[in-house]
Structures are given as C-alpha cells and as structure tokens.
Amino acid sequence: MYDVIIIGGGPSGLMASVAASTYGAKVLLIDKGDKLGRKLAISGGGRCNVTNRMERKQLIEHIPGNGKFMHSPFSIFDNENIITFFEDLGIKLKEEDRGRMFPVSDKAKTVVDALINKMITLGVKVRTNCKVNDILFDDEKVHAVHLQDGSIVKTKNVIIASGGKSVPHTGSTGDGYPWAQKAGHTITELYPTEVPITSNEPFIQNKTLQGLALRNIELSVINPKGKTIITHEGDMLFTHFGLSGPAVLRCSQFVVKALKKFKTPTVEMQIDLMPSMHQEEVFQNIIKQLKNEPKKSVRNVLKGFLPERFLTFLFEYLNIDASLTAASLSHEDIRKLAAATKQFSIQVNGTLSIEKAFVTGGGVSVKEIEPKSMHSRKKNGLYFCGEVLDIHGYTGGYNITCAFSTGYTAGKSAAERVKS
C-alpha cells in the first residue's frame, strides 16, 4: 500500500514524486519506459531549459493555452522556486536571452540525475519498464492501480503525469486520456503546438530556400479577412516541407486554429525582414543606396541589404532584373522590393503531425481541476499534472515551468491529503 502512486516519469512526475515524499508521503513512481526523464533529457536541445525568469504576468502571457489557470499553481511553486530548488540540489544555473534558464553544465543529464538522486534520497520507490493497465476507483474515489503484469497496487491517491501525445519516443503516447475519461473528465480536442509549418508554395516544393535561416524577423499569421491574428519575432528557417525555427513554432498553433475556424485549405503568413523600419523608410533606404552608386549593378549595390540568398530569390520572384545599373531601376520595382521586405507573403496549409510537435495542445479540461491542488473535481484521490492537462506554453522554458509547477502542487497536495 502506497500513500501516493505517480504514473509517468517525465518532468511533472519526477517533481510530483519529490514534493509528495518531501511532505511525508510513501510514494511509488511508475514509468513504462526503461529510463526516467527522457523528455527532460532532450529538452532545450539537450541542454534542458529548466524554467524562464520572467515576471509572473509575462510568464502567463507566454502560456497561450489556459495560462490564467497557472496563477494558483505558481502561487505554490513558481519559476523562482524552481531556480532555488535546483540550486539547492547543487546545480548552478545561468540566464540566457529572453529569460531562459539553463544549467551551467549545458547538459540536461545534470538536471535529470539531480532530480532522480533527490527522489532516491527521499525514499521514493521507482518501477520502470512497468505499464499501468488501469486505475481502479469506485463512484467516489481511487483505490488501486492495475499493472500489466496482473498485479494490483493499493493506494488512495493517484497522480496522472503521463504526458501528451508529442515526442512519443519519450513515452508520451496519450495513455492518461482514457483513464481521465473513465473518471468522468472531458478531454478537449488534441492538436499539435510548437511544431514546424507546412506549405505547398512552389519555392518551398522546389526547395529553393531550403536551409536558409532568417534572423530577428517578425512572423505573422493573417486571417482570410486580412487581419493579423498573431505576430512573433525571432528567427526562422526554410525547410524542404515549409518553415521551422522559434518564431514559426510559436505561430504554429494559430495556423492550426485559423485553418479550422475559417474552414480554409491555406492561411497566409507574412515575414517582416526589417521589423524596426517602416516600409517607407525601407523604400527610401534602397533609393539612397542606389543613388550613391548609380553605375553599379543593382545586385552589387544591394548586396548585404538582405541575406544574399533571399535577396537573389526576391529579384527572381518579383521579376526584377538585378543586372541593371542602379540608376535604371524603376521606382515601381523599388516599391515592390520594399513591400516584399516588409510583408513577404507565404501560403501555408498546416503543420507536421502531433507526434512531431514539441508540445500537445488540448487535454484534460482545466475546468474540472482544482487549480490550488491539481485535484480532480470528478474523483477523490485523483490528480493531474504536466502535459496531460489542457495547458501549453511557447518553447523557451514555459512548458517545463508548467510541468514542474503543476507536478509540485499535485505532489504536495496529495501528501497533505494523506495526513488530513
């Protein structure tokens, strides 16, 4: 008999185990894989972006999927608590751009090992390569977990930390959803977020720009009525199937939602390569450069104006003869170039699959969860944390912050329920 059984050894499950045992519960952590913390080990490009040091208000703004729900879990365990927690375990952290926090070692393994060692010190029992078949409960409450080997482990508290459906090779294959439904919970529609975007534009299909990275751009999703839905700044990359990179990932969920909402096969995205200038300034800037060297070719004068490969592509795309002398380029062509620099339009038709996404959108409805405890409003002794919930943030340490925060809150609450 265990006080608390936690299903799933990802970021939220590990943190839930630590919290529950810290508050005196006898804890069993079950994971179907052979290794704990597999998603944690590949996060932040293998460096593990443990959290983000933004102010609470900004932090919640970076969690577009039910961020407001996080006010309560953050009041119990927030980004500053996460930083203190790891530093107390002897892991030195450093702050990088946009508030992202990484271990000084630049190795995710340091973070995973520290969490596992802390669990062992606290006496958490761990069973890996162990699949949960079912959670057993009556009309009122949880009373056991049924394992694949046929054994039944009794408990009064179960924390489901089984993840979403993204990055399935780490073990998140959506196992928690049927258990949640059986307990009477609603699963909101699942969709990919933080995922590369696909396009059938000829220049994408021909791989003309494949491998080209654009830095410090602004990327917008435009609805069919010409209104901007969202704009994100950052870097992006052209790929053989479409677009990727940080700015693209952040826009992806808005593409998914727009395609669905407007029932349209494609949606427009616009790239602004010079976000700090107005279109008229860009136009005047080009004129000035051309006037300074009237006898040189347009190609040579504007070298360095934009990344060379993109500029060459634009000349061809806009039917501008770049071999002309600077003096003979028409104002009309200059206007076309300035417009394309500020609003390069690309039609996109979707994203890669949910399995290829970094994060799952949708999940167990947060309306059915008590935010201060992560306890189910449907079944006594049942808790949820991490990506199985309908909560998602942008990449940059926000999802992991939600996982650690909801995990800690669930673990602490479950342990306190045992004592009461």
Over residues 352-377, the pLDDT tens digits come to 999 999 999 999 999 999 999 999 99
Same domain, 208 and 326: yes
Same domain, 366 and 258: no
Same domain, 161 and 268: no
Q: How many domains does the chain have?
A: 2
254: containing domain: 196-351
Query: Token pair of 416, please?
Result: 């306190």
**Residue at a domain's end among 333, 351, 369:** 351
Query: Token pair of 235, please?
Result: 């870097």
Same domain, 300 and 407: no
Q: For residue 133, is pLDDT > 90?
A: yes
Same domain, 183 and 201: no
Burial of 120 (0-12, 13-18, 19+ CB in 10 A): exposed
Same domain, 129 and 236: no
| Three-state secondary structure string covering 384-412 | ECHHHECCECCCCCHHHHHHHHHHHHHHH
Q: Which residues contact 203 (CB under 8 A, 6 or more apart)?
A: 209, 313, 317
Dihedral (Cα; 120, 122, 123, 125), 10-degree rounding:
-60
At residue 367, the pLDDT reads: 98
**Residue at a domain's end among 304, 332, 351:** 351
Q: Which residues contact 319 (CB under 8 A, 6 or more apart)?
A: none
Q: How far apart are CA 400 and CA 82, in angstroms?
A: 10
Same domain, 365 and 409: yes
- 3-state secondary structure (DSSP) of residue 360: strand
Q: How far apart are CA 187 and CA 249, in angstroms?
A: 24
Cα–Cα separations (whole angstroms), residue 49 to 82, 164, 262, 290? 12, 19, 35, 45
The CATH number of whichever domain residue 171 belongs to comes to 3.50.50.60
**Residue at a domain's end among 301, 327, 351:** 351
Query: Token pair of 399, please?
Result: 């999802």
In this predicted model, what pLDDT tens digit does every residue of 85-128 receive, in sequence order? 999 999 999 999 889 999 999 999 999 999 999 999 999 999 99
Phi, psi angles (nearest 5°) of residue 243: -130, 145
Same domain, 184 and 200: no
Q: For residue 45, is pLDDT > 90?
A: no
Same domain, 372 and 251: no
At residue 201, the pLDDT reads: 98
Percent of the chain surpassing pLDDT 70: 100
- 3-state secondary structure (DSSP) of residue 298: helix
pLDDT band at 420 (very low <50, low <70, confident <90, very high): confident
Average pLDDT over residues 52-62: 96
